[in-house]
Amino acid sequence: MSPAFSVAVYCGSRPGNSPVYQAVAQEVGHWIGHHGGQLVYGGGKAGLMGAVAQATRERGGRVVGVIPQSMVDKEWANHDCDELHIVQTMHERKRMMADRADAFLALPGGIGTFEELFEVWTWRQLGYHDKPVGILNTAGYYQDLLAFLDSSVRAGFMGQAQMALIQSGSDAHSLLKDLVQAAGFAPKARSELL
């Protein structure tokens, strides 16, 4: 059965210092799989990346990993993906992930997660895609970033229209449902899709 929708998830290759981060990655993966969706992610086996991929498969979802050869050489790749695409550059990786996704979601992560989030947000503003972009503010992880973005609006470097291009929330299920619906899909439990 083909997936009902695809969500690109950006998240840490580390687990973070609190078990809540791992738990939310599993929650996101379970939701995607339970609703017949497909995870598109960076192809790693460690940290939140590994957790969201494993959780998606546990609930019957498809997993598409996209990873540069340099990371495969370091043995960071998750070979349990339904599809594992090995590319040469980070630019190819991000482009393929964007092309394969219907929506984008940032979980807690580090510099790579930030860069991917800001790039797809920028691409949306420039009209390169019209896919929804979300930030899952788990345990207030993104609170300071969101406050800084508001300060950028107040300082006149961004407008409210740009801020309206991203959705944020702290409840994984609600945010995923909103993103998938904004992408034009009606998420249904796997049992309704069979």
Determine which of 15-19, 43-47, 67-71, 187-191 has the lowest per-residue pLDDT on average.
Answer: 187-191
Q: Give CA torsion, residues 104, 14, 21, 87, to 10 deg.
A: 20
What pLDDT is attached to residue 78? 96
Amino acid identity for residue 74 in this structure: K
**Residue 118 contacts residue 106 (beta carbons within 8 Å):** no
Within a domain: residue 70?
Answer: yes
Q: What is the pTM of this model?
A: 0.95
What pLDDT is attached to residue 3? 82
Within a domain: residue 164?
Answer: yes
65 has a pLDDT exceeding 70 = yes
Report the distance separating Cα 38 and Cα 80, nearest Å.
Answer: 14
Within a domain: residue 27?
Answer: yes
Report the distance separating Cα 90 and Cα 69, nearest Å.
Answer: 10
Within a domain: residue 162?
Answer: yes
Within a domain: residue 13?
Answer: yes
86 has a pLDDT exceeding 80 = yes
Report the distance separating Cα 125 and Cα 114, nearest Å.
Answer: 17
Within a domain: residue 191?
Answer: no
Q: Give the tokens for residue 142.
A: 């993104």
User: What confidence tier does 192 reach under pLDDT thresholds 50, 70, 90?
Assistant: low
User: What confidence tier does 190 reach under pLDDT thresholds 50, 70, 90?
Assistant: low
User: What confidence tier does 2 reach under pLDDT thresholds 50, 70, 90?
Assistant: confident
Amino acid identity for residue 147 in this structure: A
pLDDT tens for each residue of 99-142? 999 999 999 999 999 999 999 999 999 999 999 999 999 999 99
What pLDDT is attached to residue 188? 78
> For the residues 62-68, what does the mean pLDDT come to?
97
Q: What is the mean pLDDT of the chain?
A: 95
% of the chain residues with pLDDT over 90: 93
% of the chain residues with pLDDT over 70: 97
User: What confidence tier does 191 reach under pLDDT thresholds 50, 70, 90?
Assistant: low
Within a domain: residue 189?
Answer: no
User: Left, alpha or beta for 134 (phi > 0: left; psi -120 to 50: alpha)?
Assistant: beta
Question: Looking at the 3D structure of the chain, how many domains does it have?
Answer: 1
Within a domain: residue 83?
Answer: yes
Edge-to-edge strand list for the sheet holding 38-41: 83-87, 62-68, 38-41, 6-10, 103-106, 133-136, 166-169
What pLDDT is attached to residue 1? 62
Q: What is the CATH number of the domain that holds 160?
A: 3.40.50.450
Domain extent, residue 124, equals 6-182
